[in-house]
Every structure is written in structure tokens, then in C-alpha cells.
Chains A and B, each alone.
Chain A
Amino acid sequence: MGSKVRSRLSLCGMKIGIVDYGLGNVGSVRAAFQRLGVRTVLTCAADELASADALVLPGVGAFPAAMEQIKSRGLDLVLHNLVKKDHKPLLGICLGMQILADSGEEYTECAGLGLIPGRVRKLEAQGRRKIPHVGWSGVSVLPAGESMFGRMALEDAYYFDHSYSFDAVPECRAATVSWDGDIVAAVAHGKVWGAQFHPEKSQNSGLRLLKAFCLSVDKEASK
């Protein structure tokens, strides 16, 4: 069996748990995985999340509002257990990536999930850069992002839209994007990945990244 067929088959049997906390733009995330032929389940129930092969933490919103929703559903503990104890792969998208941090400062100082060391701060431009940082950009991949961006094509660009950025510790930075200097575009720490941009809104460039995520899960499972 060719490797192509095998990867298609393994994606078919896979189930991605999309963490539902009432704020994320989950429709597009589901649609993107559907294009890859991967099943998704949208839920905030601990047992359903535990039965998924991997988790996606989507996000549109403000940091404190998101953490409030997460805590009110008890998801902070659930995610901690699934990621830290069960070593379940997790991909945070945009705000879902930012709340992986230790803390954030959007509107008020607020603690995050603490899954990737670092803090989220407001973007500040020296020059005439516009804030929010919105638009399509290519990224520079760092060593920590090798598997995350393993399928990236040369001309790939991703859609960014954010006014806060995640200052992760250097060893967890997976990619940077050039803005007013380089800012963090993606983070990776073990099986926890995060993308500041929206892979689900970045056409085929984004699908390649989501596929890399699914395939990394598969590799883990077959070990």
C-alpha cells in the first residue's frame, strides 16, 4: 500500500474533538477538517473530548471572556488532564492559541491555561504599522515548528487577524511573521501546537497545516 493511500485511510478513521466553549468560530474549523476527510465532534463534555484522537481549541474573542467561558464549563481542568496526563495532541487557533499562555493582558490581567510558557501582550508598533495586524502573510519557520510546517509550500501564506501576540519562551516558538519586527506566528511545545493565524481560513495553505497536525497524531498513535 502506498504511503498516500495509508495516510488517507488513517485520516478517515480519525476523530478530532473541537472544544466548544461558546465563543469560537467553530463552523469554519469543522468545514476545514471535513475537506480533509477527517471527522470532528464539537463538544465540551470531558468524556467525549477524551475519546477524540486529538483536540482543537478554536477562538474568536477576547482573552478574559474566553477564559471565563472555559472556566465556567470546567474545561480548564479537563484540558489540563487530557494534555498533561494523557498527552493528547492539541492545536490552539488564534485566541485558542493565546489562552495556552500563562497569562494575558487584554482589557484586564488574566491567567491563561498555562500549557505553553509565556504571556500575551498588546501589539505595539513603533512605526506606522496598523493595529490590529490583519491580512495574509508568509511565515519563517523555526526549529520547533518543523513538523507543524512540514507540508508547507514555498508560496504559502496564512490569514492573521489579531491585536495581541503571544510572547512564548524562545524554545516554544514554532514560526514568526514579519510585522513591526518579528512576532510569534505559531508555537509548539511537545504535542501542544498553536497558530496565531487561522489555518481554517487560509485556503490550501491552512489545509496543509491541519493535515500535518492530523498526520502527527497518527504517527503518535502507531508508536
Chain B
Amino acid sequence: MSSLRLVASIVVRGGLHVQSLGFRRYLPVGSPVESAREFDRWGIDEIALILLDDDLEANRKLVSEVSKAIAVPLAAVGGICDISDARAYIAGGADKLGFNKSLVENPRLVHEAARLFGEQCVLASIDLVQVDDLAVRWDYWRKSASDLNAASWIREVESIGAGEILLNFPERDGVGRGMDVETIQEAVDSTRLPVVAVGGIGTSAHAVECFHAAKPSGIGVGNRLAHFEQSILLFKKALAESGAPMRAGVKASYADSPTDEAGRPIKKSEKILTDLLFQRIEPEKI
């Protein structure tokens, strides 16, 4: 069985990796290429580049630079207006193409991309918000909720030819108070496609809660990875200890480290530290 994927979401605006708050406010983090390189080094399972800029040439260049810097799968989401854009991303090294607006306005393009590159290459990026206790599609461009409910929208997206679903929750974006576990669970249960859920993670406990309640194929983390030292190892440690199937990825691990309530590592016991002196650590061989 596949392990649970920990997906790094890198939002890019004005060429910069930004922290996104509610899909409205953006704070600069730094170079997207450097962020991706570090996430890869620390054993992330996949990277989703969320491209908010309209400049295709700059997007294409960035996809290619990021792809060269990493050795994990790369999804390029956003800015694909016709099939030549799609080709440009793939040629640049994207493994998956993420569509959002086109799902509504140009489903033929999504269908064509699936025919050319295979459905496994097509990622449907869906935004959901709660209206009167019902999850509905949110329209990013009009900044308003539509009257299409989540289940019908997911069925439609399946029929267009998507091979995977990226679920975003604009209301929880950047808030860090936990994920919309109920909606994620309903989405996972209602589709045959793998689902990656993003939005709301503040601590590793949120990821653990989401995995055990909803069993998504992947959990996306954005801001937390950039603002929390050693975050990938600590997320993986918490998920693995809770029983989620995780890929180690790198040799480094916090498996024998105690952590505080916020999931940060605290000092190891004297005994462990003493034993470390006598541990032989073999370098990794390729």
C-alpha cells in the first residue's frame, strides 16, 4: 500500500514564495526554488507549486528551475490557459498539471490534457467553503461562493478527466486551527480519485486528526513548513507514531526525541545522549 503523502504547498506570487492568508493577503517568504530545494532535502513526498501570477514565461521558467532542484514529484497548479502552456510545464519538468478555473470555463482543455498526458497527470484544484453547513464550490475569481455543492462538483470534475483532486479550503488558509475534516472525509468517500487536502494545518496534531478521520491520499502543508524548523521530520514523526503509513525519505529522524505540546522537539534524556556517543552512523550509499 502507498504511504500517506506529505505535500508541500508553495504559493508563488510576484515570483516569490509567499505565505497565503485566506486567499487574500500574502506575506513574502523567499525564493520558491530555495524553499523547494530544502523541502526536498528534508524528505518531503511531493511539492505543489501554486502559481498565482499570469506571466506564463516566468511560470514556465520557475517550474523548470524548481524541477531541476528537486527529486520528488512536482505539481504545477495555475496559469494554464491552453494546451501549449500545458506542454511548456511538462517540458519544464512538471509531473502534474493543476487546473482550477479551466475546470469551469474550459473543460475541453482539461480533457485534452488528460488525453495527451494521461489522466494521472491532471490534478483538479477545487476550492470549497461552508455555506449554511454545506460545502460548496468557491469561485476564486469572483471571490464568492457558488451554489454548486461539493459532491456534485467532484462528480463533474471526475467526468472531465481529472486523475487526482486537490482540495483547498480558502476560509482555513493560513489560519492554522485545523482542517475541515468532515468535508474532506465526505469528499474522499464520494470519489474514486485520490484526494490531497490542504488548508488549516497549524500543528502536526491537525494532520494526524485529518488522516485518521478522513484517510486522504495526501495532506498538504503550506505555511507551517516554511515557518517551523525541522517541520517535515516532525510532521512525519507525529504521523508515523499515530499509525499512519509514512515514507522515511531521509536518514535523519526524530523518532527517539520527545516533543512538547506544539510538536517541537525537546532535549533528549541524558541516557540517549550518552548512547549516541557509541552509535556508528553509516553514510548513505547511492
Binding site for B on A (CB under 8 A): 23, 25-28, 31-32, 35-36, 60-62, 65, 95, 106-107, 125, 130-137, 151, 153, 155, 157, 159-163, 178-179, 198, 200-204, 206-208, 211
| B-chain residues with CB within 8 Å of residue A25 when the two chains form the complex | 90-91, 93-95
B193-223 contacts to A, CB under 8 A, are: 193-195, 217-218
| A-chain residues with CB within 8 Å of residue B64 when the two chains form the complex | 27
| B-chain residues with CB within 8 Å of residue A65 when the two chains form the complex | 115-117
| A-chain residues with CB within 8 Å of residue B264 when the two chains form the complex | none
Binding site for A on B (CB under 8 A): 1-5, 40, 43, 45, 64, 67-68, 71-73, 90-96, 114-121, 163-164, 192-195, 217-218, 247-250, 284-286
Q: Given A157-B3, A207-B71, are A134 and B120 neighbors across the interface (CB < 8 Å)?
A: yes
B73 touches A198 (CB 8 A): yes
A178 touches B1 (CB 8 A): yes
Considering the complex, give the chain B residue whose CB is closest to the CB of A164.
Answer: B118
Considering the complex, give the chain B residue whose CB is closest to the CB of A158.
Answer: B247
A136 touches B5 (CB 8 A): yes
* B248 smallest CB distance to A (angstroms): 5
Considering the complex, give the chain A residue whose CB is closest to the CB of B1.
Answer: A178
Instruction: Identify 14 residue pairs between A and B in the complex whose beta-carbon atoms are under 8 Å apart, listed by A's number.
Output: A27-B64, A27-B68, A27-B91, A60-B117, A106-B118, A130-B193, A130-B194, A132-B119, A134-B194, A137-B1, A151-B285, A160-B2, A161-B73, A161-B95
In the complex, which of the residues A31, A206, A207 contacts B68, with contact meaning CB atoms closer than 8 Å? Answer: A31
In the complex, which of the residues B67, B91, B92, B118 contacts A62, with contact meaning CB atoms closer than 8 Å? Answer: B118
In the complex, which of the residues A26, A60, A203 contacts B118, with contact meaning CB atoms closer than 8 Å? Answer: A60
| B-chain residues with CB within 8 Å of residue A200 when the two chains form the complex | 71
A130 touches B95 (CB 8 A): no
